[in-house]
Copies of this chain bind each other. A is one copy, B any other.
Amino acid sequence: MEKKMDPVCGLDVALHYIGGKWKPILLFHLQHQPRRFGELKRLAAGISEKVLIQQLRDLTDAGILTRHDFREVPPRVEYTITGFGRTLALALQPLCEWGNANRQTLPAAEASADA
């Protein structure tokens, strides 16, 4: 019998890092290469600049990404996945794929919602 402190599935821990709409998407785009802020804004279509800044700060504070400011003009800031972040991206991959493969099973209202 499991105790409360020893859960059988650590999904809650994973969601502490990548819960919400945007973080899995950002992680996906960063898993293989560093990206500039503007690039991420374009790739995560629909995200506001304010929300993107906050999400990237959360991921950086959590040790999932590192941020490098090249101190250039025009500004050039790059985000790179860490080794720790890469382990998370790898573990997340099968569930991402499952979700994409089964999106059509969602009730129509949710599938089309901007959830």
Chain A residues in the interface with B (C-beta under 8 A): 1-5, 7-16, 18, 21, 24-25, 27-29, 42-46, 63, 84, 87-88, 90-103, 105-106, 110, 112, 114-115
Contact = CB atoms under 8 A, between A and B. Distances in A.
Given A92-B95, A98-B88, A24 B11 contact: yes
A14 B41 CA distance: 24
A5 B111 CA distance: 8
Contact of A96 (B10, B18, B93, B96): B10
Contact of A100 (B13, B28, B44, B93): B13
Nearest to A13: B99
Instruction: Count identical subunits in the complex.
Output: 2
Contacts of A42: 1
Contacts of A27: 9
A102 B86 CA distance: 13
Contacts of A24: 8-9, 11-12
Given A98-B87, A99-B14, A8 B28 contact: yes
A18 B8 CA distance: 14
